[in-house]
Chain A
Amino acid sequence: MTLLLSFCRSLQMLWKNRLYQGSCPRNQTFSVLYSYFHFSKKEQRYFSLTLPFLQNNKATKLLISKAISSSKSGKNKSKQESSVSPHPLFSAGTAKKKSEVLGYKKDQQHSFPFSSPVLLPTKPLNSEEWDKVKENFEQKDIFENWMMAQMVKYNSSIDIAKSLLSWIARKNNGNVGYKLLIGYLTLCVSQRQTTEVIDVYEIMKTRYRTLEPEGYTLLIRGLIHSDQWRETLILLKDIKKIMSPSKKNYGDCIKGALLHQEVNLAWNLYLEMLNHRIIPNWETFQAFFDFAKGVKNNQFEGRLLDILLYLKHNQMYPTEPFAQSIKAWFESIPEKKWKGESVTIHKSGHCSACGRMLESIHLNSEEYEFLKQRVLKDVLDGGDQYRKTTPKEINRFVNFIKSCPPFDIVIDGLNITKMFPKIRESQTLLDVVSQITKQNLQVLVLGRRHMLNGSSRWQKNEMAAVQNMAYCFFADNVSEDDAFLLYATLHSGNHCRFLTRDLMRDHKACLPDDKTRHLFFRWQQGHQLVFLNYYPGKKIIFQSVLTYDTVVQTTGDSWHIPYDENMVERYSYEIPTKWLCLQQQN
């Protein structure tokens, strides 16, 4: 099975590489008609037909393998598996799955746009041959630039590009335009032709007084592997004169410094980057960890732990390759005997490998109070009370809340009833409310006035029963009830949960800064109840709220790092489910 799987994976990687490489120069040299041309379009279509099939194949294989592994361990693990089932709202990949169910497959259509047929030479041509090619081309004035762009696109051999440049130089008194040079440089950089990059660099230096960021970026990327890597720092300085360098520029310079064992320089560049509030690439972080694997340096060790803490404070989740590097580095520290494992976390917040308890998701009283005030001020009020509600209604609501005891569960009546369009709304609501009140919980139902008017969907007697069992607040038909829901929940105290499927992203966006937004999200994860399916008359099972915080965390002798799996597409508001557990063994 594993053999088959790895074969499949390598197959796909090859396939992908090939696709980006595009041209297969020697494939069709047998053809007499096109002795030095081939049709890229035809090939592309051929690929695009087969690729989805392959991908699907791989995906299904993976799924099968996962299913097998889970069924193998099913006997002894079945309890655990059910207890770590992903959260229906916030676990990574949920939104993607949902969009697939709903049938959005737009990106597949756009992944391989077909352009006009491309004829690319497969070997260096001489001047006469190039003249001939140009004759057959329709738009004569853009021929050179177009040809270079195609070569970059299909990653042709640089010899062919050189022959093109020679031909152009001969035509133009030894001049080659900047755009062509950049195209050529792109080819050299992508094929790691360092000597060529240096040559182009020399030419550019003397031809032009200054470049633009694109040129600088390419040069930096090309030069870091050469002996002249220190020049990249000068180039970086040149970019700074016009604009702040991108994270790519910094990342390449750091990589260059690390390649040449200049640890302090790399670290200073990293700090400079953070000072400019540029968030480093994963490759940059990974470069640090990869570099540290073979090096014994206590100071550097501390710096790497700083990086991990930076991830913690900014709620960043490493990619899978980076997580592997972290693991490899920890395990390479000789005397400390770290051991890493990829795990899932138990519902109660215990790590399934080492059994340690993760950090709690609940806010402390200070944070809670702060969040409560912010929600009242920024979400419910929002600068203009008329935009979401009216001042009169806010007064009515605040008085209502004051007159009631603290609630245990606040229900968004409209949201939960609209989830099941086949069942009558008032019936769903009554069922849910009666099931919750049976457990002796104080319930608040929020809704809008029109629910009371009586219709076939909202029956008056059922609504009256709901009002008997629970506290109810009905906002105006044009008001936003979510804001009321948030405030009521926060006001009732830390034990109070709320029941809705709404992700509350628009309300989160009303909050002023990242810190408050993260507080809100933490609170939301720990207080939002969801139920997945509902059949009239059956018992409703609620998805339990999260009890642990999903951030990088440490206890000194252990690290827990949540990371993104390779195959899972995580949306920005979701959190990963896979963790890397690192613990010291004594």
Chain B
Amino acid sequence: MSFMHGNSLVRNLSLSYKMSTCFTFLRHFVKRSVVPFVLRKKGTGLYFTILHKHFSSRTPILFYPNKENVPPIEKIDLDEWKNTMKSSLQEERSSFTTSDDILTATREWIEMCRLLNREVPEHISDQDLKMIAECPSKKSKKKKLKYLYIKEMHKKAKKEKQEKKRAEMDEIEKQKQLGNAEESKNTELTNTFLLPLKNRAWKTEWDWRNAQAMIFGQPLVFDMAYENFMPERDLKNTVCQLLESEGANRKNIDPFHIYFCNLKVDGVYHKELIYRYKEKWDQLLLTTTEKSHVDIFPRERLIYLTADSPNVMTTFRHDKIYIIGSFVDKCSQPRISYANAKRLNIASERLPLDQYLQWEIGNKNLTLDQMMWILLTLKNTGDWEKALKFVPKRKHSGFHNISINSKNFVKDLQKNRLGIKKSFRKLSSNAKGWGTWWKDE
């Protein structure tokens, strides 16, 4: 039945289309209508789809030839929604009435964007709104809005987390009160010879170590001369990183003595640091100075750490003073810190990233806190592999295998050194009994 029907259609078509194309069409049509689940060959499928494209505009009925199989189309009122939408209107308007005031218009625009589930914040302050209205391009507006949106989401998530925690605490409190009588016996202080370590104790310990570092420790200089090279957002990022690295250093077992050099009083950096640290700023155990590092330390002891340097750092030197430029550069102004090192005639070094890591993507600039972790680990262990674990994993695909060889190489070196020592010992024992000279007395 279906075949017959298709055939008659094809006959109609053949009037207006070439025989050859129709033949293939016929072949295919028959195949499809008789065996609907047959797997199509590539070539025939290709023909069919093309023809379908050709015909679909002209003969829509063609594809519902089998009216007995397809359920009859119910009459659906397709324009019903329009009528209901129009009928439920509150007011008639001839055109849109966007406000002429740019701030109101921007606010309305943001509201509409939210209806489209775009990334815009729910609440927006007047100051931010003004900033958005003043952005020159659509893209910059969207960027700013996205930034505010993400900030708002973070805030929300934090609040939720806090509330959840509070609820949990309340629950525990309640249970405690309920089972008060029974638990009172269990919660009695147990007798132990170990003193509990409280936060305050930790802090005293850290302060002690830092105070020691300030007298005897190795200095580490943060060069704060770059405040004019960065936009405000990057500067804030830099201060964040500084805070983090200071924290890491404070809690380390053998901290550096941190210097903030070139820190202008009432400069942007100074203000931002005080804003972040608040009253703790004056209690920090580090040195801040307006002087340059060149004026404080002997030039030959200074080493500027910069990614653009041609010299590779091989070992961590405990007698040198390393300088890190506190500069967040999104790679738009290369070689700035290296130019500084050249200008001041200071030695410069870069981390041996290529030597140890299979570098894949990204630039070789690291954040300040990563630098701090790497330097601290190097200082304490002298192990490059341990230290370079702080390089973000996304930037590389693991350590070189060569590093095993280099380890062996280092071992060989150490062996040789031991050998030298031994021979020296032999020599000296020949001259006089080594280790037993005091026994003679």
Contacts and interface: CB of A to CB of B under 8 A. Distances in A.
Nearest to A238: B98
Interface string A205-237: 111111111110000000000000001001100
B33 A176 contact: no
B113 interface: yes
A261 B85 CA distance: 35
Interface string B328-351: 000000111011101100000000
A348 interface: no
Contact of B78 (A50, A162, A202, A208): A162
A170 B69 CA distance: 30
A18 B49 contact: yes
B81 interface: yes
B73 to A, nearest CB: 7
B85 A242 contact: no
B53 interface: yes
A478 to B, nearest CB: 5
B50 A14 contact: yes
Interface in B55-99: 56, 60, 62-64, 66, 69-71, 73-74, 76-82, 84-99
Nearest to B97: A209
Given A162-B79, A212-B112, A215-B112, A30 B64 contact: no
Nearest to B71: A35
Nearest to B62: A26
A166 B88 contact: no
Contacts of A205: 93-96
A497 B10 CA distance: 71
Most A CB atoms within 10 A — which of B82, B90, B96, B108?
A: B96
Contacts of A169: 80-81, 84-85
A213 B98 contact: no
B36 interface: yes
B97 A210 contact: yes
B98 A31 contact: no
A493 interface: no
A26 B64 contact: yes
Interface in B80-139: 80-82, 84-100, 102, 105-106, 108-109, 112-113, 115-117, 137-138
Nearest to B73: A123
Nearest to B335: A387
Contacts of A182: 116
B42 interface: yes
Contact of B98 (A24, A174, A209): A209
B53 A30 contact: no
A388 B63 CA distance: 71
Interface string B19-60: 000000000000011001100001001100110111010001
Nearest to B343: A386
Contact of B63 (A29, A35, A165, A173): A29
A246 interface: yes
B264 interface: no
Contact of B89 (A15, A46, A207, A235): A207
Contacts of A18: 49-50, 53
A176 B81 contact: yes
Contacts of A179: 115-117
A49 to B, nearest CB: 8
A464 to B, nearest CB: 26
B141 interface: yes
Given A242-B105, A386-B339, A31 B94 contact: no
Contact of B335 (A14, A26, A388): A388
B310 interface: yes
Nearest to B51: A14
Nearest to A11: B50
Contacts of B50: 11, 14-15, 18
Contacts of B73: 123-124
Nearest to B89: A206
Given A30-B32, A212-B109, A241 B81 contact: no
Interface string A163-188: 10110111001111111001000000
B339 A178 contact: no
Nearest to A212: B112
Contacts of B106: 242
A213 B138 contact: yes
A215 B98 CA distance: 13
A210 B71 contact: no
A46 to B, nearest CB: 7
B36 A384 contact: no
Nearest to A47: B49
A272 to B, nearest CB: 17
Given A170-B80, A174-B81, A203 B86 contact: yes
Contacts of A238: 96, 98
B52 A176 contact: no
Contacts of A124: 73, 76, 78
Contact of B95 (A24, A163, A212, A234): A234
Contacts of B70: 29, 35
B86 A166 contact: no
A80 interface: no
B96 A208 contact: yes
Contacts of B336: 384, 387
A242 B137 CA distance: 10
Given A18-B53, A165-B81, A209-B97, A243 B112 contact: no
Nearest to A385: B339
Contact of B310 (A25, A203, A477): A477
B108 A209 contact: yes
A175 B339 contact: no
The 5 closest A-B pairs by CB, nearest first: A26-B63, A174-B84, A386-B339, A169-B81, A212-B112
14 contacts: A14-B53, A18-B49, A27-B52, A29-B70, A30-B36, A162-B81, A206-B86, A206-B90, A210-B99, A210-B112, A212-B113, A244-B137, A387-B334, A387-B335
Interface of B: 32-33, 36-37, 42, 45-46, 49-50, 52-54, 56, 60, 62-64, 66, 69-71, 73-74, 76-82, 84-100, 102, 105-106, 108-109, 112-113, 115-117, 137-138, 141, 310, 334-336, 338-340, 342-343
Given A206-B93, A241-B98, 16 more contacts: A27-B63, A124-B78, A170-B80, A174-B85, A176-B81, A176-B85, A178-B115, A210-B112, A214-B116, A215-B112, A244-B138, A384-B336, A387-B334, A387-B338, A390-B342, A478-B310
